[in-house]
Structure 1
């Protein structure tokens, strides 16, 4: 087994995978685990509906099972955490979901968490996650920017909407830390924080950070 962390984008949009890969550059270090990003080609262009979540669950588990001997940890880079528990059953290696890790990281940075989503129809899934993790008392709200995965290529438009939504979460909902509710938002983290004046959690970075810790500690034992 190598010390590779496999970061899986469950949608088939290579541009999203490339953005995830760039966002993880600060976590690549000499002597540290190798971080490799992979696109699930069987996936839809975006994980936008519950049907999309269900569709990728078994292909994700199959991939994790096939790569279990040559990877030290896995990260599912979609904020719906599709297939997280099935994948954990498929391997003895750590499997991180970016929503779970993003929310846990946000707890260390603020008292009330605001989530910025892509589409309104994603919000019910996110709210179920909040309840399942027992975080309702620390949850400020979840608002969508109203743009599809395909529209995320217009940086100026996306940043303007994210900043608007972030300010609303802060002013009207009392959020003092923001979580980006989609792996495709990674490149906006610094500019969003500057525009809104709050700490921002990029959830794939949060998940990979936890995976690095798990891999290094496992090697030290």
Structure 2
């Protein structure tokens, strides 16, 4: 089971203080990281109340890769990202945007959360690349990318999220991970751990909307 504690994961403090007044701990986030750096990033996103918990950028082959449950395995539609509200306050995601590197350069998001998107405490939200998701997904909010694709490049890509004011709040770098894992990367333990390949945690390939063991957040 591969462990990637040095994944480049930027979290910016200010937006989350608006949602969770209990976020008083000091953050030690290393914003520049390279392969020669032996310092482990201390990125405990629980302090900020909004956690990127799981990413599937390389859906498994065949029917096993049907992550959105619509009966069709599609390399684009079945990509997903999962976020969890681990704060005590509701988060208003209206107008938040997700970009891959190409879309960020062009200024056109892969996905924009619609108005009145509120994420309750302890609730997950999953954004699939497309398709027609079928299932409960642990009670998560479920969306498909508003511009039809997440388009996370296996060989290396940067996912960026901005808030409704266009302020960058999160970046996730695919580059340090396997090009073709045929499964998701998830935090282990959920919410607070480092990113590892999903199968090594639970024997399953992904778990959109739920913890790695399939239970709800």
TM-score with structure 1 length normalisation? Answer: 0.28
Tell me which protein shows more helix as a share of its residues: 1
Tell me which protein shows more strand as a share of its residues: 2
TM-score with structure 2 length normalisation? Answer: 0.28
